[in-house]
A = this chain, B = another copy of it.
Amino acid sequence: MPSGHIVSAFEEELQFLSRRLAAMGGQAERLVEQAVAALVNGDPVLAQKVIRDDLLLDEAQREIDDKAISIIARRQPMARDLREIIGSIRITADLERVGDLGKNLAKRVNAVAEGRQPASLFRGLEALAELALAQLKEVLDVFASRSVERIGFVRDRDEEIDAMYTSLFRELLTYMMEDPRNITPCTHLLFCAKNIERIGDHATNIAETIYYMVTGDQMPPERPKEDKSHRVTLNRS
């Protein structure tokens, strides 16, 4: 913003919405980071913190929604301004869901800690989480800068996440077959991996919303929306 420029009350309201959303994005990112750390380190105290912190994201969503709707009702925005506000409502819903997925990771900490899983599984999960978090961070940067030309990159990463998820899925199945005692904890790890993969999907949703906010168009629907794990079958020879 050039100095000396007088910002109207309306612009201030839009900027408030944008800042609040960026802050919520940061909260969601930290929540997922901590959930993954709780899982990998088997840390029930951190898991409880994550579960509590998710309430803050629920609150943030309510606040952003209320503000967005009140701006529409009072200001009757058009075109790009209206898209900004509708986009905020969509993005806050995605971030709230990212928080739910992070909370669900935290809730599985005890069930996963039941058995001692090999470090390679946790490394796989961490690597998947790193990709998904990088995706989320990237998308939040695109949101801050509104530089939609970087959105293609986000989509490419989505494919990478799906491929890594599918390979982790296969690894977990193999491990379950090796010893029935692995079945329960690995099933929970499978759901954890799925949750992390879904976080990547929500980041991609947010990228699509930003594209719409800025351009007024829907992104072409070429995106491969799903992982390939539904095809994975392992038969014991």
B62, B108, B218, B236: the one within 8 Å of A230 (CB): B108
Give the B-binding residues of A (Cβ under 8 A): 58, 62, 69, 72-73, 76, 78-79, 82-83, 86, 89-90, 93, 100, 104, 107-108, 110-111, 114, 173, 176-177, 180-181, 183-185, 187-188, 190-191, 194, 218, 221, 225-226, 230-236
In the A-B complex, list the 3 residue pairs whose CB atoms are closest, starting with the nearest: A76-B76, A107-B230, A177-B180
B73, B90, B184: the one within 8 Å of A173 (CB): B184
| A149 to B: closest C-beta gap in Å | 23
> Binding site of A, secondary structure by majority: helix, strand, loop or mixed?
helix
Q: Which residues of B contact A231 (CB under 8 A)?
A: 107, 110-111
Pair B114/A184 contact, Cβ less than 8 Å? no
Contacts A76-B76, A191-B194; is A232 near B82 (CB within 8 Å)? no
Contacts A58-B221, A89-B89, A226-B104; is A234 near B184 (CB within 8 Å)? yes
Pair A235/B114 contact, Cβ less than 8 Å? yes
Pair A173/B194 contact, Cβ less than 8 Å? no
CA gap between A113 and B230 in the complex, in Å: 12
Pair B187/A173 contact, Cβ less than 8 Å? yes
| A31 to B: closest C-beta gap in Å | 16
Name which of A86, A104, A183, A221 has the most chain B CB atoms within 10 A of its CB.
A183
B72, B108, B181, B187: the one within 8 Å of A190 (CB): B187
B90, B107, B194: the one within 8 Å of A226 (CB): B107
Pair A187/B184 contact, Cβ less than 8 Å? no
Q: Which residues of B contact A108 (CB under 8 A)?
A: 230
Q: Which residues of B contact A90 (CB under 8 A)?
A: 89, 93
Q: Which residues of B contact A233 (CB under 8 A)?
A: 111, 114, 184-185
Q: Which residues of B contact A226 (CB under 8 A)?
A: 100, 104, 107
